Structure 1
Amino acid sequence: MTGGELSQHFANGNGLIPLRDAFSRRSAVMPFRGKQRLPSDSFQSAWQELLSSPCPPRKRLAYIHVPFCANHCLFCGFYRNAYVPDAGADYTDLVVEEIQHDARSPALRSNPIQAVYLGGGTPTALSATELSRIITTVRAELPLAADCEITVEGRIIHFDAEKIDACLEAGANRFSIGVQSFDTTVRRRQGRRASREEAIRFLEDLRDRDRAALVIDLIYGLPGQTPEIWQQDLHTAAGIGPDGIDLYGLNLIPGTPLSAAIAAGKFPSTPALAEIGGFYDAGADFFRRRNWRQISNNHWGRTTRERNLYNLLIKEGADCIAFGSGAGGSIGEVSYGLTSDLAQYREDLRADRKPLGMVTTSDALQPLRNLVTASFEIGRFDLARLGALAGGETVASLTELLRQWEGAGLLSLNDNLVDLTVAGRFWYANLISAFHDILENRLHSAVNAA
């Protein structure tokens, strides 16, 4: 590999501040690298072939998508449908039917499921009965591991005591609550109706049940969110005593209501990229001083009850069995997405068809991509494992880049072990994308030369 090919991935150095200046933009890890789409007329035959055979032993997850929300949060690019009672009841019937049908297949019976995630959308927009039916069906029909993590993602609005207790009685053992900020003004600017005081009371009530792990999601970089407000958000969240806290940088998605409002001058602009790293640094330092364990780049645990299994295993490339309109999953080399069109989803299930909107197959480099993504996700990379998959020459060819990143303050490299600094953890997606580019170019070139 030439120096020029590596140098395009070099970080900015020369005395600059890594958290501010290492790269000119934050990259995103693209989920469809190396995947080839199958033609739509082959979807059903490919799916039936996949389900008909037991799978080799491997980690496995399940994801259930709930495509309803009480309202459209301004920063969100995933809003699809407003929840209405009739639609929720019909949708629950369909999801239950889909799970029961697929659960009988050899492929789904062959490996235990370590974690289940109900995401969206907003799962807690469903009624207590609907939530209970879905979770109960999952536990009755799917081969869950004895210590399976069952997460319900939710918001404060409409997630009342009846729904919480229904989830707990059905078997949920983890709640991930999207608070984003406790500041009432910042919250309501994003379409969050509950005030700071209401949010705290809700979370304390959920905590005091003491029957499931409680995780609070916070976002930094929101319009009007100053460093002082961010510090207060951190103190408030930690003071509640949850089992874990996630910190995510705002991804300002073009076309969202928030993007339009900022462009029209209705909202203050979001902090510049040069400022965003300071928010992450403040959060990392906050938890380090309180001895919380850092489970991944964006996630900290306070108690041993918080494992974050789903998010860690999905990065490792575990199988993910998907149910519900708009869900995405994978089994082995096959990835698939279910149609986000609710009418089509219903029509397909009623016709005894898997409601597939996309099916892809992965190339031979997918295990290598999974290793890169999972390693940088937890902030530590064992290059010996990379060498076992890609060869020692490939690892040696990356040394110049790793040393450059080390000099730029992003990592330390000792005895084939890479440890990311706080700045490296902030820019981790850039490091993953660079490794993916380089390894693909090198290994594809080797294949073509042969």
Structure 2
Amino acid sequence: MVGVADIGPYFARIGPNPLRDAFEARRAVMPARGGGPVEPDEVQGRWRSLLAQASERGKRLAYIHVPFCANHCLFCGFYRNAYVGAQASGYVDLVIEEIGREAGAAAIAGVPVHAVYLGGGTPSALSADELSRLLKAVRASLPLAPDCEITVEGRIIHFDPEKIDACLEAGANRFSIGVQSFDTQVRRRQGRRSTREEAIRFLADLRARDRAALVIDLIYGLPGQDPEIWRQDLDTAAALEPDGIDLYGLNLIPGTPLATAISAGKFPSIAELSDLGGLYAEGAAFLRRRNWRQLSNNHWGRTTRERNLYNLLIKEGADCLAYGSGAGGSLGGHGYMLTGDLERHAMAVRAGEKPIAMMTGRDGNAALRHAVTAAFEVGHLELERLERIAGRDLAPLLLPLLQQWQQAGLLVLDEGTADLTVAGRFWYGNLVSAFHDLLNGPPRPARAAA
């Protein structure tokens, strides 16, 4: 019988302000934990077998990783390589070869790709020719759906009109621009070289082209970004009339230059966890007053052009074809990660192999876990739907936890249907992780704040 001992560690603190202190720490939504690792000497054979099998119908994604940046932004945990022209050009050739070689496989050719994402790193660090060749190869080799969302992630620096036009002509229809903050001093502390005025001018020019969705990414909680600067960031972003705005809380990743600098006392202290929730709530209220649609916990759309398709489908567990050094994907119930070492990636592709560094096997609980993740991501969970997927009664395990979270102000519960409050959306990673733990077998949960 399920008791407090099973779910008690996941209870939230009941207090006057759940945005501040419902939990001791924010938990990240981790990748699949179910299927065990495939032995290294079996990986290539398993991959060839997966490619040879016709995949089930369903929306499909593709992710292309560009592991180059103009410089290492202090807060970023994804930096790998500085952009060097000759090296990047050869890398693009290899990725195009990787995409083209698999294009005719039964697992790939028969299922439309509904969203493509060029991420990094910094894809806009590539030259105009490199971006064009890569995007054209994607369009020529992959079975893209007619309304496929094709996103290029970029930064303001070095993303000149020639590159933008090259992306547009090659088929990109969505740009996700990492602004983080418009304040010049806050930006420069993080390694962002362009000024507030340069950032505004770049985004206004991109918006004026009116040929692709424009999404502005903002971060709250950066060093030196006080509440007034955060309000100015929101005002500036909205005034530019992009198609979408993303709001992310600063995640201080151990080992990043920012974490090292703060521990050494070289930067203003970042916002406390107890303050981040208020900044998130302020941003959510700001956009709600302007009638922006909340597409997911961190994403808002102003126009119908912004669909946020890739981000929503990845949470639903859609198969994701991965290409390029450091990319991660899934196919046929298997997860895989490509090597982040450029030399090893090149050697594998030239040898006719998929440059897989790690693969996990099928996970019988994946559909249930993805349903949980996708539901909390959009702030609406139906217990009955989870039970249909699981094929068993989940209410004795999960309903008492949902009821406790309702007492704590994280959601509103109505006959097994839960809608997250603003506080629940801020802490959604904790809610998802708790359900994952309980449905998979708990590792070590974060406790409610004392």
Between the aligned partners of 1:115 and 1:169, the Cα distance in structure 2 is 18
Query: What does 1:24-423 correspond to in 2, within 5 Å?
Result: 24-391=24-391, 393-423=393-423
Between the aligned partners of 1:387 and 1:339, the Cα distance in structure 2 is 37
CA contact (8 A) 1:155 1:178 kept: yes
TM-score (norm 1): 0.97
- 3-state DSSP of counterpart to 1:118: strand
Amino acid at match of 1:340: G
Structure 1 gap segments, 5+ residues each: 443-450
Amino acid at match of 1:136: K
Between the aligned partners of 1:388 and 1:104, the Cα distance in structure 2 is 36
Structure 2 gap segments, 5+ residues each: 443-450
| Residue of structure 2 in register with 1:7 after alignment | 8
Between the aligned partners of 1:159 and 1:300, the Cα distance in structure 2 is 24
- 3-state DSSP of counterpart to 1:36: coil
**Structure 1 range deviating more: 430-439 or 208-217:** 430-439
- 3-state DSSP of counterpart to 2:186: helix
Between the aligned partners of 1:140 and 1:309, the Cα distance in structure 2 is 21
| Residue of structure 2 in register with 1:446 after alignment | none
- 3-state DSSP of counterpart to 2:295: strand
- Give the Å deviation of 1:392: 5.3
- Give the Å deviation of 1:333: 1.1
Between the aligned partners of 2:21 and 2:210, the Cα distance in structure 1 is 43
CA contact (8 A) 1:112 1:143 kept: yes
- Give the Å deviation of 1:360: 0.7
Between the aligned partners of 2:433 and 2:375, the Cα distance in structure 1 is 13
CA deviations over 1:69-115 (Å, ceiling 9, x no partner): 00000001110000011011101110111111011111101210000
| Residue of structure 2 in register with 1:445 after alignment | none
CA deviations over 1:395-447 (Å, ceiling 9, x no partner): 243221111100110000113211000000000000001111112239xxxxx
- 3-state DSSP of counterpart to 1:37: coil
Between the aligned partners of 1:11 and 1:34, the Cα distance in structure 2 is 26
- Give the Å deviation of 1:391: 4.3
- 3-state DSSP of counterpart to 2:393: helix
Amino acid at match of 2:120: G
CA contact (8 A) 1:386 1:395 kept: no
Between the aligned partners of 2:410 and 2:232, the Cα distance in structure 1 is 28
CA contact (8 A) 1:67 1:326 kept: yes
| Residue of structure 1 in register with 2:448 after alignment | none
CA deviations over 1:306-327 (Å, ceiling 9, x no partner): 0000000000000000000110
Higher relative contact order (CA 8 A, sep 6+): 2
- Give the Å deviation of 1:263: 0.7
4+ runs deviating over 4 angstroms? none
Between the aligned partners of 2:27 and 2:171, the Cα distance in structure 1 is 38
Between the aligned partners of 2:439 and 2:327, the Cα distance in structure 1 is 29
Between the aligned partners of 1:393 and 1:56, the Cα distance in structure 2 is 27
- Give the Å deviation of 1:35: 2.8
- Give the Å deviation of 1:16: 2.9
Between the aligned partners of 1:191 and 1:345, the Cα distance in structure 2 is 28
Amino acid at match of 1:109: A
- Give the Å deviation of 1:388: 0.4
TM-score (norm 2): 0.97
**Structure 1 range deviating more: 168-177 or 39-48:** 39-48
Between the aligned partners of 1:70 and 1:115, the Cα distance in structure 2 is 26
* Identity value in percent: 66
Between the aligned partners of 1:43 and 1:440, the Cα distance in structure 2 is 25
- Give the Å deviation of 1:332: 2.3
| Residue of structure 2 in register with 1:447 after alignment | none
- 3-state DSSP of counterpart to 2:62: strand
Between the aligned partners of 1:286 and 1:95, the Cα distance in structure 2 is 41
Let me know the Cα RMSD of the aligned residues: 1.0
- 3-state DSSP of counterpart to 2:360: strand
CA deviations over 1:239-261 (Å, ceiling 9, x no partner): 00000000001110011000011
- 3-state DSSP of counterpart to 2:10: coil
CA deviations over 1:153-190 (Å, ceiling 9, x no partner): 00000000000000000000000000000000000000
CA contact (8 A) 2:399 2:416 kept: no
CA contact (8 A) 1:16 1:22 kept: no
- 3-state DSSP of counterpart to 1:150: strand
Between the aligned partners of 1:349 and 1:148, the Cα distance in structure 2 is 27
Between the aligned partners of 1:409 and 1:233, the Cα distance in structure 2 is 28
CA deviations over 1:92-147 (Å, ceiling 9, x no partner): 11011111101111110121000000000000000000000000011111100000
